[in-house]
Structure 1
Amino acid sequence: MADAPSIIFVDDDPNVLSGLRRRVRAKRPNWRLQFCDNGEEVLNLLQSRHSVDVIVSDMRMPVMDGAELFRKVSRLYPEIGRILLSGYADEHANLLGTSATHHFLMKPCDDQSIINAIERALILRSYLRDPYLLGVMSCLPGHYLWPTAFRNLQTTLYHEGPISEENLSHYAMDHRECVTFIQRYARREGLIGENSTATLHHLFEVLGIESVKALALLFEIYGNGDITVAENDPELIRALIMAEIAARIGRHENSEFENIDASRAASLLAHIGSKLIETVLPNQSMTARHIADKNQCDIISAEIDVMGISHAGLSACMAALWSFKHEIIEDIAFHHRPESAPTGRSSTLATVYAAQHFAREYGRSGRLVKEKYPLSERYLATVGIGEKWTAWSNIARETVRLHEMR
């Protein structure tokens, strides 16, 4: 049992814990389950000795609610999966909780939904322990691991308690160019007016927490804190176009706001691993690209052959380090090979896959890369989007056209 997954359930209602203990043990007898009735007990367990893979917590608890617990866990034990259950009707309360949460489930939810969320967390946790990936991460300079603007945003969101407009205003004053960069992206999508100077709080409301976090990261990693450098980097421009396509497809499908946020953020971060690999392994990265071009094979295969890792794997590993949601980490990890993802019919992964395909097809090098990345008709049929493809393609073509006019 030493290697069995370790899960902690937290709820101040003993009847809820009793029911979970009985039902989850019956369905997953190999899991090591622990049950706590308050957040302080969880923190004491973690501090003492316990190796824990996933925590599942209720939101509403006295003294320390689930949001506060997860803010503390994210700071002290960022590798632990965090799943929040909430019955709140208050959207602001949910926003506070999900900022430090990998997965969010609205109560009432059935046992299988909870088990599925835990299993996704466990699969991704195992995937992201690859020693080659961890080796590359250990060589990254500090300003790539924790860029200043992003680190300060994390502190504001996770560690200072409830998010207030005052805290966000202070952040915006300290990081004006970063916030301007995020505003300009929001204008691209038509989410704020051309002359709007939307507050950071409003940007969270129209883009979502995950997208704002991802944009802050890109600003620093590609632009090194300089908005002119950022907006002229071709790889960053590609990421912005891909994200915009994903978001516009999501809105066309009337997707939930959280799903649009997730697919946009995953699209923004999907290729950040390429930038980081070029920093740590420049010669091997160049060799992999040369092999992919020469042999007309996909870049993932070439990267793994040359380095033992792929940019998708490193992007996902970094997204986990940066506490993005499990859904986003999965979408990043499998954006080239969605049929291999543990969640077989993820709508957000399908959107990210489509956005990447269209960004290639309608980009300047579309004709050159199309043969290297044939469309997976089988995957499209599996997720049921084959009939939507033409409409999505038109959305993407128009998005690229608008970008070229700007």
Structure 2
Amino acid sequence: MKLRVLFVDDEPNVLNGLRLVLRSLREKWSMAFAGGAVEALEILAREPYDVVVTDMRMPGMDGGDLLSEVQRLYPDTLRIILSGYSDHKMIMKTVKPAHQFLTKPCNHKELEEVVERSMRLRTVLGNERVRAVFSDVDTLPSLPDVYASLEAELGKEDPSLHHIGNIIESDMGLTASLLKLVNSSFFGLRRHVSSPHQAVVLLGTDTVKSLMLVIELVKRFVVKKSLRFNAGLLWQHCTQTGHLARCLAVHADADKEVMDHAFIAGLMHDVGKLVLLTRLADDYAGVLELVRSRDYSVHDAEREVFCATHAEMGAYLLALWGMPAPVVEAVLGHHEPVQVPHEGFAPVTAVHVANVMEHELVIINPQYRKPAVDAAYIDSLGLTSRMQSMRMSCLALLEAAGKDPAS
């Protein structure tokens, strides 16, 4: 069945241009084109669409208002803003109703990749009740304003590192948390970082953005006390897994992009668990009961209760937020890496091994079943003989950071 995509723009020339550049997708996409929000809603009322891609600034009902209405009437529809308009207030208006924000001019290959990656991950979640959690973005933490502003700046042809630093500094609490993380011994920087400008230069925009996002997510999710679950320890596990994943990528002589994606995916790998803990707390109590009293792994208990896992839900959310494909795939496969076909050492490899080793080396709940490395997967990559040296590298990093790894 073809993917059904509706494009909305009040400029006829823009719609004609989209028709032209997207002709090659007609075999797999069924496309419709609307000259405004009212026409788009009329089309949606006649037949369902999987994706709505709209301009932001239009007369009458603008793109933000249109997507809010689409969210209300058709919550399962993927909602994307495609616009060259960069006004900050308008961007903030569309953050909640839009799953993705893409800037014009947008290469049709980029648009195709964003749409198909998000839709492909949507099929992972067969449980309608779980999908409903994601259909209403207001029940989830929206992307922080600072993060959205950074995305808008980075979408420009010539983004300014100085301006990026200023954007981060606009949130004092976030800046303080970011600098505390950046100056931790995990990063091993030889100089003290005293400003977001320095952090961006030394670590790169992708790493800094991801650190900011994780800080905000942890702050916004509140876990019920009755669950007896320590969200702070989960945050500690995620940050350490991120650093170990990068360490393993360095050990494997991976390129810088793989290192960066491994670190980001390690930071984000349990974001789906936060969603389940806070949005489906009563059901998640059943997961914790299976883990605590019946020796289930968290992964298996989630699948029994929800017919989906935190790995699948986290990947789905990050895909909707536009995280890089290797990061999304690493989160999806961090327990079951064979779900993500790839060649050689990849970010999913680093996060899979790092997650297991962090649980082995930093024992928080000794009564919980620890995850295990997929030995067949590791062997298929020719890494079996290197596992012990990888473990020693992880142990050395934790010791250097002042942690108390298990022997």
* TM-score (structure 2 length as normaliser): 0.67
Q: 1:349 to 1:196 in 2, by over 3 A?
A: same
**Residues 44-80 of structure 1: CA distance to partner in whole angstroms, max 9, x if unpaired?**
799975968699xxxxxxxxxxx97698999689557
**Residues 168-206 of structure 1: CA distance to partner in whole angstroms, max 9, x if unpaired?**
233233212322322333333335335321x43443344
Q: 1:154 aligns with which of 110, 129, 148?
A: 148
Q: Which residue of 1 aligns with 2:402?
A: 404
The alpha-carbon deviation at position 244 of structure 1 amounts to: 0.6
The alpha-carbon deviation at position 217 of structure 1 amounts to: 2.3
For residues 306 and 190 of structure 2, the distance between their equivalents in structure 1, rounded to whole angstroms, comes to 45
Q: Which residue of 2 aligns with 1:137?
A: 134
Residue type at the aligned position of 2:182: A
The alpha-carbon deviation at position 250 of structure 1 amounts to: 1.7
- More moved, 117-126 vs 284-293: 117-126
The alpha-carbon deviation at position 153 of structure 1 amounts to: 2.0
Q: 1:404 to 1:70 in 2, by over 3 A?
A: farther
**Residues 326-384 of structure 1: CA distance to partner in whole angstroms, max 9, x if unpaired?**
22112112211111235476611000101101110101247544x55232111112233
Q: Does the Cα contact within 8 Å between 1:296 and 1:372 map onto a contact in 2? A: no
Q: Give the helix-richer structure, 1 or 2.
A: 1
Q: Does the Cα contact within 8 Å between 1:172 and 1:200 map onto a contact in 2? A: yes
Residue type at the aligned position of 1:200: P
Q: Which residue of 1 aligns with 2:200?
A: 204
- More moved, 155-164 vs 356-365: 155-164
Q: 1:69 to 1:335 in 2, by over 3 A?
A: farther
Q: Does the Cα contact within 8 Å between 1:152 and 1:171 map onto a contact in 2? A: yes
**Residues 202-246 of structure 1: CA distance to partner in whole angstroms, max 9, x if unpaired?**
433443444323321221232359xxxxxx922111111111101
Q: Which residue of 2 aligns with 1:330?
A: 329
Q: Does the Cα contact within 8 Å between 1:300 and 1:310 map onto a contact in 2? A: yes
Map of 1:78-157 to 2, 5 A cutoff? 79=99, 122-127=119-124, 131-137=128-134, 144-146=140-142, 150-157=144-151
**Residues 286-339 of structure 1: CA distance to partner in whole angstroms, max 9, x if unpaired?**
220220233322212211222333222222222123221122112112211111
The alpha-carbon deviation at position 33 of structure 1 amounts to: 8.8
Q: Does the Cα contact within 8 Å between 2:333 and 2:339 map onto a contact in 1? A: yes
DSSP-derived class of the 2:322 partner: coil
DSSP-derived class of the 2:402 partner: helix
Residue type at the aligned position of 1:317: Y
Query: Does structure 1 residue 394 correspond to structure 2 residue 392?
Result: yes
**Residues 252-282 of structure 1: CA distance to partner in whole angstroms, max 9, x if unpaired?**
3332222222111111111122222222222
For residues 154 and 112 of structure 2, the distance between their equivalents in structure 1, rounded to whole angstroms, comes to 31
Residue type at the aligned position of 2:272: G
DSSP-derived class of the 2:372 partner: coil
For residues 311 and 336 of structure 2, the distance between their equivalents in structure 1, rounded to whole angstroms, comes to 10
Q: 1:385 to 1:83 in 2, by over 3 A?
A: farther
Q: 1:159 to 1:209 in 2, by over 3 A?
A: closer
Equivalent residues, number: 342
For residues 70 and 269 of structure 1, the distance between their equivalents in structure 2, rounded to whole angstroms, comes to 30
Q: Which residue of 1 aligns with 2:268?
A: 269
Q: Does the Cα contact within 8 Å between 1:312 and 1:332 map onto a contact in 2? A: yes
Residue type at the aligned position of 2:132: G
For residues 404 and 388 of structure 1, the distance between their equivalents in structure 2, rounded to whole angstroms, comes to 25
Q: 1:82 to 1:224 in 2, by over 3 A?
A: closer
Q: Does the Cα contact within 8 Å between 1:103 and 1:326 map onto a contact in 2? A: no
Coordinate RMSD, CA, aligned: 4.4
Q: 1:209 to 1:173 in 2, by over 3 A?
A: closer
Q: Which residue of 2 aligns with 1:257?
A: 256
Q: 1:120 to 1:141 in 2, by over 3 A?
A: closer
* TM-score (structure 1 length as normaliser): 0.67
* Unpaired stretches in structure 2, ≥5 consecutive residues: 8-18, 44-48, 54-81, 222-230
Q: Which residue of 2 aligns with 1:173?
A: 169
